Amino acid sequence: MLYFEIESFAPFTQEEQNAKETLLSLIQKHGDWILSRDCPDGHITCSGLILSPDCNHTLMGYHLIYQSVGWIGGHADGDSNLLGVAMREAREETSVTRIYPLTRRILSIDVLPVPEHVKHGKIVETHLHYNVTYGLIAPMNQPIADKPDENKDVRWIGIDEIDSLCTEAHMIPIYHKLIDRMKAISLEKQQIPSKMPDALLQWYYPNHRDLPWRHNMTPYHVWVSEIMLQQTRVEAVKGYYARFLEALPDISALANCDDDKLMKLWEGLGYYSRVRNLKKSAQTIMNDYNGTFPQTYDEIRKLSGIGDYTAGAICSICFNLPIPAVDGNVLRVMARVQEDFRNILDTDFKKDITRQLEKVYPTVKDCGNLTQAMIEIGATVCVPNGMPHCEECPLNSFCMAHQNGSVALLPVREKKVKRKFENKTVFVLQCGDKIAIRKRPSKGLLADLWELPNVENFLTPEQAIQQCSQWNVKPKELLKIVSRRHVFTHITWEMQGIFLECAEPDSRFVWAEPSELESVYSLPTAFRCVLAE
């Protein structure tokens, strides 16, 4: 059955509330049929208003049916994951790849009349769209492209240009309403970091774990513990930490330690470059700082084996400097508390979170315990594996992921995959009024969907005709050749479309009428774009 998000951006207007109640009654009446285009009372469509991160520009295209500049959206076509539909349509209709929801909340539900129009040679009668809208964010510095059978002139426009470019008068107030709501949500997110210190510190004092390195906050002890804790579990570190400090109680002892003894003390912790850098940095401190641990971020950051996080931890915990320490725990907490769907593995995400916290730390007296509280809440409550303990979290009253039911979806972790490019020759084989299609393999990209016959690489017209002869379709005339591109998440198809009139419909293909490509066979956009004029 259709899964429908009842909780939406509040308050809805009365018109939206009526639309929602009507839609819910239709869902009760028709069930999943409401997701299909042939539902007699109208059907669900999903749109995403795409804004730039600063909410000052929107990505729109000139829609060929409505003859107006407008938002990006499309039919649910049986998919009950409505946010997923909005995301899919946004990618397909603009070719943007880096795009994410501003929030999981539905921003608006509107009943929109659709005029009679012709699509793929077939008349589509007037009907109603029950449109569910989400707010999407996309950085502006990425390639965009039209979807030839849907729109043209996809581009970023200033939000102050909407009134002059949109010729659908009834849509203009809807766009402004959505922009206002997205700006309000963005402002809500921006205000969250300033709410966190008081809540975290009040929770931390009575609830933090009793860990051995918290008994002594001198730079040497904190430094050793932070290096040991890199890529190693807390429970495993405890014994090593005690034994290491017993053998090497200060920086001087570490700097002068025999390498064999040092490796023996570290044996079992792994990643031995860590302990080599410890000794190297200890020698630097002895030689350049007279054995006194440096007390500025820049000096600490220059020491071997110390990165941004460790330098921030030492600065805040040992010297109460207003410098955050941003590790995986902190990134996960921030992603959830702000309901941030950006890729947590992206360096830009970490830089942005660091900048946000750098504005908060100067307002706090106890920077050291704030750093430890941020790490502690991520390690014990907003945990990385399994469901977080939201009922115990001091941030739950303003955590947007908790409020919007998206905790399990966050953080987003997407490892970057190098984009591949493939050249294909796609055949539009016409026999009378019918076109040849075939089923794709049951595994892999576009599995089990229908496709136009195609082969790898670009063929010359002579090679294309030879290929058709091998398929036994007896090519009669080369009608035209077109060039198309389709962008998937990790692969781009550069396609040469060859239109051929054939004498016989060979049985290895299914021969479909153009109207059947709309109503019977699921032909993906990657192939539909070859057919588009």
Q: Which residues are catalytic?
A: 226
d(CA 264, CA 240): 11
Contacts of 466 (CB under 8 A, 6+ apart): none
d(CA 343, CA 404): 19
Residue 188: name the closest of 257, 130, 103 by CA.
Answer: 103
For 137, the 3-state DSSP assignment is: strand
C-alpha pair distances (Å), 224 with each of 219, 272, 285, 302: 8, 14, 14, 16
* CA distance from start to end of the chain: 37
| DSSP code at position 343 | B
Amino acid letter, 54: D
Q: How would you classify the pairing of strands 72-75 and 43-51?
A: antiparallel
For 111, the 3-state DSSP assignment is: strand
Burial class (CB in 10 A: 0-12, 13-18, 19+), 169: exposed
Q: How many CB atoms lie within 10 A of CB 279?
A: 18
Do residues 382 and 332 make contact, with C-beta atoms less than 8 angstroms apart? yes
d(CA 247, CA 226): 18
- Two tokens at 249? 């109680």
Burial class (CB in 10 A: 0-12, 13-18, 19+), 365: exposed
- Two tokens at 171? 């849509």
Do residues 185 and 135 make contact, with C-beta atoms less than 8 angstroms apart? yes
Long-range contacts of 239-243 (CB under 8 A, 24+ apart): 240/265, 240/266, 240/268, 240/269, 241/212, 241/213, 242/212
